[in-house]
Amino acid sequence: MTTPRAIILGSIIIAVAILISGGIIKIGPKSAGTAANAPAPSAPPTQQQAPQQPTSGKVSVDDDPVLGNKDAKVTLIEFSDYECPFCKRHFTDVYPLLKKEYINTGKVKMVFRDYPLPFHEPMATFEANAASCAKEQGGDSAYYKFHEAIFNKTKSNGNGLTKDDVYQFATDLGLNQANLKACADSLKYAEEVKKDVADGGAAGVSGTPSFFVGKSDPSGTITGNIIVGAQPYTAFQSAIDPLLK
């Protein structure tokens, strides 16, 4: 087999493996800090080879942005990647329903934590940092407006947006573009993003999107069920509704 044909065949195998992996993009056993951690199997992973996914975990909301009533009975923590196509699918198909039924009604507060994957660079970490720069200017409200702008516009997979696109969101949302550009270009919040990745990995996150659902605790740390992948709305209903009783 010629080299070009081998490369094409390998790309197809990896794409198929991702599409059948349950709506989640996974990383290898190391932290998602460098491109060296991107999986490079010699053959598509099988169901028997996959490690057992934990069903519950303990994780902190940290100082990450909150959407909804901060005194809500239930907390939903999302570990996500702005350039992950399955994360975008969740944003498009499920997030609006969660907002309507649980977040806007004060029942659930959502906390978004960054988990950029190395094979979604160069933009995944840049966008995560830029969103924190938006929060710096306008608080949690500005953060989530910026968050929604990214997910609405990106085509995913690491090249869904340009830096100029990201800067423009600041102007569109009434933020100071020059200040956001300086903040984003400096990767001011790079350590905060790395902490999110480390905390997620310690709690059992191995890919995106991953969610923790548990009763809110004054300590800011919840112990809850893990929902892995771009699951349907009913999966969240089943996890949230018993906690509201």
Strand partners, 79: 113, 210
pLDDT tens profile 111-129: 999 999 999 998 999 999 9
Mean pLDDT to the nearest integer, 218-229? 94
In a domain, 43, yes or no: no
pLDDT of residue 203: 94
The values of phi and psi at residue 198, to 5°, are: -65, -45
In a domain, 98, yes or no: yes
In 3-state terms, the chain is what percent helix, strand and coil (to 5)? Answer: 50, 15, 35
In a domain, 207, yes or no: yes
CA distance 81 to 1: 36
Cβ contacts of 135 within 8 Å, gap of 6 or more? 65, 142, 143, 146
Candidates 54, 50, 56; CA nearest to 29 is 50
Q: Above 50 in pLDDT, residue 6?
A: no
pLDDT tens profile 140-191: 999 999 999 999 999 988 778 999 999 999 999 999 999 999 999 999 999 9
In a domain, 20, yes or no: no
pLDDT of residue 117: 94
- How far apart are the two ends of the chain, measured CA to CA in Å? 61
In a domain, 46, yes or no: no
The mean of the pLDDT values for the chain is 85
How far CA 97 is from CA of 126, 209, 236, in Å, comes to 28, 17, 10
pLDDT of residue 215: 97
pLDDT of residue 122: 86
Range of the domain at 145: 55-244
For 184-213, b/e burial (b = at least 16 CB within 10 A) is: beeeebeebbbbbbebbbebbbbbbbbbbb
Q: Above 90 in pLDDT, residue 56?
A: no
CATH of the domain at 206: 3.40.30.10
In a domain, 147, yes or no: yes
The domain total for the chain is 1
> Two tokens at 121?
């660079």
